[in-house]
Chains A and B, each alone.
Chain A
Amino acid sequence: MSSSANEAASRASAVSSMGQTIPTDAEVGHPEGVRWGMVVDLDRCTGCQACVVACQAENNIALNEEQRVLERRAKTWIRIERYWEGEFPNAKARFIPVLCQHCGNAPCETVCPVWATYHNNEGLNVQVYNRCIGTRFCANGCPYSVRYFNFWNPEWPEPMNNQLNPDVTVRTKGIIEKCTFCIQRINRVQVTAKTEGREIRSGEVQPACAQSCPTSALVFCDLNDPESAPAQLAEAEAGRSYTLLEHFGTDPGIIYLKKVDPHAELEEDSHAPVETHA
C-alpha cells in the first residue's frame, strides 16, 4: 500500500461533522459476507453507451435535455469517459465507464452531516434520499464526480411517466442521487432467495448496466465470494487489474482490468500518412 493509501486508511475511522465515529468497511462489513462489486474489463468495453441508457431506464433518471448538458448538470449515474492519446494519424480514443465506485473508505460518507449517505454491510455506498438536505458536501468530496445534485424537479410529460420504474424513488429538487448498483434488483433477488430457502446464486444479481452490456465488459459480483466467476476473473487477470485513482486510498468496489494495446510502444512517426491529400 502506498503512503497516501496508508494515510487514507488511517483516516478511515474518521469523525463525522457531528462528532460520531464513522466505522470503516472492515469494521462493519463481514469479510466472509457479501461485498457487492464490479469488474470492468476495459479491453472489452467499446464505449457503445448501452449501459448508460439501460441505467437511465431502470433508475428513473431525469431527462438530460440540451440545456442540462450545456449547464454541466446532466445526470448519468454511469457515463463513458473518452480520453485521447496522440494526434492524427496516431490518435487513439480510450473509453472508460465511470460510476459510483462504492468505496470502502468513501470520502462522501464522512462529510454528510445528516447520514444521508452511509456504507451498508454489503459494501454498498447507500444514499437515503429522504435524509438528504442537499449540502452537496458529498459531491464535492467525491473524487470520481459521480454524485449528481437535483437542481430541478424532474418532469416526464404524460404519458411518458408510464415508463417509470415503481421500484425506484423519483428524486426531487434539492437532493443528491447516484448509482445504487441497482439496489432494488439486489433486494428482489435476496427476497426471492430467502423465500425459496436458498443462497443467492452466482450471477443472479444483475444491475441494468451489466445486464445490457453487449461485450460483457461489466460483470457484477460478490467480491468476497471466491467462487464467483468475476472474482475468479479478477484473480486470473491480476496482472491487468487496477482501481481508479488508487492513490486516494478509497478502496473502490470496482476493479478495472487494463486495456490491452499491442502497439503502445510503436514509434509514432512510422505511421505518418503520405502527404497527398488535397
Chain B
Amino acid sequence: MSGLGRRRFLVGSAALAGGATVVACAAPERESQVQSFVLQPELSLPGQELWFATTCAHSSCGNSVVVRTIDGRAKKVEGNPAFPVNQGKLNVRSQAGVQSLYHPDRLTVPRRRRGLRGANEFEDLEWPAGLDLLTEKMSEARSVVVITGPISGTRARIARDFATAFGGEHVVYETLESTVWRKTVQDGLGARRLPYLDIANAHSILSFGADFLSTWLSPTQYGVGYGEFRQGHGERGRLIQVEPRMSLTGANADSWVYVHPGQEGALALSIAQVIAAEGLAPPDNWFNVVSQVGGLDALNAYAPDRVSQRTGVPVERIQEIAREFASHQPGFAIAGGPALASTNGLDNGLAAMLLNHMVGSVGQPGGLLPNPDLRSSVTPPTEPTSFADLAGRGNTWLEGDPPDVAIVFEADPVYGMPDATRFADALGKIPFVVGIGTIMNETLGHADLVLPSTHAFEEWGDYVPDPAPRQHVVGLQQPVVRPTTSGRSFGDILLTLWHDLRPNLAPPWDTMRDAVRANAAEVFRGGDFEERWVELLKNGGGWNDDWAPEFRSSPNWHINLLAEPAFSDNGVEFPLHVIPFEGVALGGGDETANPWLQATPDPISTATWTTWVEMNPSTAAALNVSRGDVVRIETAHGEFEAGVYISPAAAPGVLGVPIGQGHTFGGRWREDRGSNVLASLAPLTVAGAGGLAWAATRARVRPTGDYRQLPTIEVLPNARNDVEEVIVQITNE
C-alpha cells in the first residue's frame, strides 16, 4: 500500500481493535464492533468530537464543509470557514448531506435485473459476482458511453479518459442545464470560464430570471455577497428581477418586473436603447458594442414604445429600470432560468450581456470579473452535454446504433428528459446498462446491473468550483466516516475495470485516493508534499491568486435582433404557459429522497412534500378552482396532476410548477409522490446553444373534481403583511 489512506486506516483501526472485540453469539455484526478503551484507534476517543474538512460533491454546489463526527458517526455539516467559495456558510442541500449518508433506503449491495427494464425487479449479488458480470460485458464491448451528472477534477478526468480508452464518450447530464449561460459567457465576454459576480461591491443588479439566491449556479457564494450588497457598504444595493414567474430572488428584489415568457431579450435591448438615447452611460462604453449589434438604428427598433406590447412591460417602467440600473453603478446584468430556457434563450442572454458592456461593468469591481483558467492536470467542471446533443444520441440509439454498454453515475436522464424524446426507450436499446449510485432513481431502475456507490462523505475526490471565487480553487474530498454500506466509489470502480481490461492504457493509480493525491501533488507543487498534503486535507483544499485577472478575448456577438420565441403548439388549444422551476431544497429532483429536503417549505408557497401549481386568482376563477383543488395540466406531449396554489404573485396565464416529484424509484420518501412536470414538456431547443427550452411549453388545465389539502407551513392561506404589519419596512430614502 503506497501510503496509508485514511479510509484504509479507519478499516485497519477497526481490525486492530478487533483484538479486543467481543463477539457475542448471534449478535448482529454491527453490534459486535465494541471498542476497547485500552487500545483506542488514533483519532477516536469515546464522546470526543472530530471535525473533518471535505467537499460537498453530492449537491453539485461546490461548497466545502466541515463534518462533525463523534464515535465514527457523522453528526452535523457546517460550512468550511476557510474555503473561499462558501466562506463558512451553507445552503439547505449541503446541510442535508448527513441525512443522505444515513438514508435507510440506500443501496447496500449490487443488484442484477430479473424482470423487464423499469419493472423494479432485482436480485442481490455479492460484489465479486457484480464486478465479474460488468467485466464480462465490458470485455465484449466495442463501444461504451459514460453518463454522469456534473462532475469535475480527478473524477471527471477518470470518467473522460476511461470512456476514451473503451472507445466511447463521457456525457454530462444536467437536469436544467447551464449550457446556455456558458455559451452566453463565451460569446458575450469571450471567457472560457464562468465569471465571478462581484455582488458584494455592486450597487445594482439587473437579473433576467437568474434565481441566484436559490438554485442558480452557486447560491451560497452569491448569498454571502448578497448580504454585503444589501447592508455591507454605504450605498444599499438595488436588485431588479425580470421574469415571468416570481422566483425566490424575485421575491427579494426591490423591483420585480413581470415580462412575457421569452421576451426578456427584447426588454434588455429596450433598456439598452434608453441608456443610449438618454445618455445614461458614456458613449465610449457602448459605441463599439452597439455597432457590433447593428448600431443605434437597430437598437431604436427596441425603443420602449415599440416593445411595450411585446414584452408586457409599460413604457414608463422600462425607462425607470434603465435609469435605476445605469445610475446605480457599479452593477451588472445577468440572465438565467426561463430567460435562457426559451427558444431564443441565447439571444436573451446576449442582450443582457450587452448591458454590461454599455455600463462598463465588465472586468470592473462590482461587475463581472474574470475567473482563472485551470492549470495542468486538474480537469475543470466538465461542460454539460446539451439537451439537443443528448436527445440526438438517443435518436441514434433508437435507430439501431447504440453503444454496447452504458455506465450511468449520479445522473437521471430518464426522469429529466421529456417523454417526447423517448430517452428511456433509447436507453433500452443499449444491450447492457450499469447504474452506479447511492439510492435508486428512474435511470438506475432501467439498468441491468446496479452498483452501490459510496456517499460523498465516505470517499476520496476533489472538486473544482464553477464559478470560481476569482482564485484557483480545488476542493478536496476525504472520507469522514467509514462506509456504512458495501458501496465503492465511482472512480474506484472505473479504475478497477480499467486495470483489469486495458492495463496498457490504464493510469498509474490503483485507487481514487492515489489519483487525487497525485493530482494534488501536481497542482500544489513545492516544498515537502507530505506536509502540504496534510495541510490541504485539513483546509479542505487549496487556492491561490497567482494569475492575471482579465478577460482575454473579444466578445463574439451574434444577437438575432428579430428572434421571436417559439412555443409548443398553438395558443388557442393550449392557452397557458408552463414555467417549471427548481425549488431551493429539491432542485432538479436528485435530492428528493431526503426527508429534510422534502419537508423544507418552498419559500414562496410554503408548500412541502408535493407538486403544486401556482396560479393567479383570475386564472383560478376562470377555471373555477380554489386552493387545494387537483387539476390536470395537459400539454401536447403529456399530462400531470397538481394541487392549486393561488398566488398573488403569479401572472395571469402563467403556471409555475416545481420540479422534483413524480418518482417511481428512490425509497419511502420519494416514490409515488407528486408529479414530474419535465416529462410533459415539449422537446424544443434553444437556438445556437442546444439547451432544452423548458420554458417554452404551452398547456391547458382541467379540474379533476378532487381536492387535497396542500401541505403548507402557512396556516392562514396567503397571510397579508399589509393588514397586520409583522415585517416592518422603511424606504431608507
A residues with a Cβ closer than 8 A to B are 41-44, 46-50, 52-54, 56-58, 63-66, 69-70, 72, 74, 76, 79-89, 91-96, 157-166, 208, 211-217, 239-240, 242, 244, 256, 258-265, 270-274, 276-278
Contact = CB atoms under 8 A, between A and B. Distances in A.
Contacts of A273: 258, 312-314, 651
B611 interface: no
B637 interface: no
A140 to B, nearest CB: 15
A160 to B, nearest CB: 5
B519 interface: no
Contacts of A52: 92, 600-601
B729 A258 contact: yes
Q: Which 8 pairs across A and B sit closest by C-beta, in order of nearness?
A: A214-B223, A215-B227, A83-B721, A93-B251, A66-B609, A91-B649, A64-B599, A69-B711
B220 to A, nearest CB: 5
Contact of A259 (B227, B316, B576, B727): B727
Contacts of A278: 571, 575-576, 653
26 contacts: A43-B231, A46-B223, A47-B252, A49-B601, A69-B712, A72-B715, A74-B713, A79-B601, A83-B719, A83-B727, A84-B718, A94-B727, A159-B102, A160-B103, A163-B99, A163-B102, A165-B75, A165-B76, A214-B227, A215-B223, A215-B224, A215-B230, A258-B728, A263-B255, A274-B311, A274-B314
Contact of B604 (A53, A64, A93, A160): A93
A212 B653 contact: no
Interface string B51-90: 0000000000000000000100111111100000010111
A165 B67 CA distance: 12
A168 B310 CA distance: 58
Given A84-B720, A166-B70, A271-B317, A49 B585 contact: yes
Given A86-B648, A214-B90, 8 more contacts: A41-B231, A52-B601, A66-B609, A69-B609, A84-B649, A88-B258, A95-B251, A159-B484
Interface in B571-603: 571, 575-576, 584-585, 595-601, 603
Interface string B696-729: 0000000000000101111100111110001111
A91 B731 contact: no
Contacts of B317: 270-271
A46 B715 CA distance: 21
Interface string B243-260: 000101101101111101
Contact of A94 (B238, B715, B721): B721
Contacts of A265: 731
Contacts of B649: 84, 88, 91, 93
Contacts of B231: 41, 43-44
A160 B668 CA distance: 13
A256 B310 CA distance: 42
Contacts of A84: 648-649, 718-721
Contacts of B648: 84, 86-88, 91
A221 B311 CA distance: 48
B47 interface: yes
B652 interface: yes
B584 A261 contact: no
Dominant secondary structure at the B interface: loop
Contact of A211 (B88, B227, B260, B668): B88
Contacts of B92: 48-50, 52-53
B713 to A, nearest CB: 6
Contacts of B254: 261-263
A19 B220 CA distance: 52
A155 to B, nearest CB: 11
A68 B198 CA distance: 42
* Most B CB within 10 A of own CB, among A46, A63, A213, A278: A46
A212 B78 contact: yes
Contacts of B471: none
Given A48-B213, A215-B224, A276-B312, A57 B600 contact: no
B441 interface: no
A66 B606 CA distance: 13
A271 B647 CA distance: 18
A261 B256 CA distance: 12
Given A48-B214, A217-B227, A88 B616 contact: yes
A48 B90 CA distance: 10
A41 B731 CA distance: 15
A69 B608 contact: yes
Nearest to A48: B584
B603 A95 contact: yes
B226 interface: yes
B210 to A, nearest CB: 14
A240 B213 contact: no
A159 B595 contact: no
A89 B243 CA distance: 11
Nearest to B310: A276
B236 interface: yes
A89 B246 CA distance: 10
Contacts of B585: 49, 53
Nearest to A264: B731
A260 B76 contact: no
Given A160-B99, A260-B236, A47 B713 contact: no
B308 interface: yes
B599 A65 contact: yes
A92 to B, nearest CB: 7
A209 to B, nearest CB: 11
B733 interface: yes
Contacts of B2: none
B95 interface: yes
Contacts of B330: none
A163 B95 CA distance: 12
Contacts of A88: 258, 616, 648-652
Given A76-B713, A91-B648, A57 B252 contact: no
Contacts of A214: 86, 89-91, 219-220, 223-224, 226-227
Contacts of B715: 72
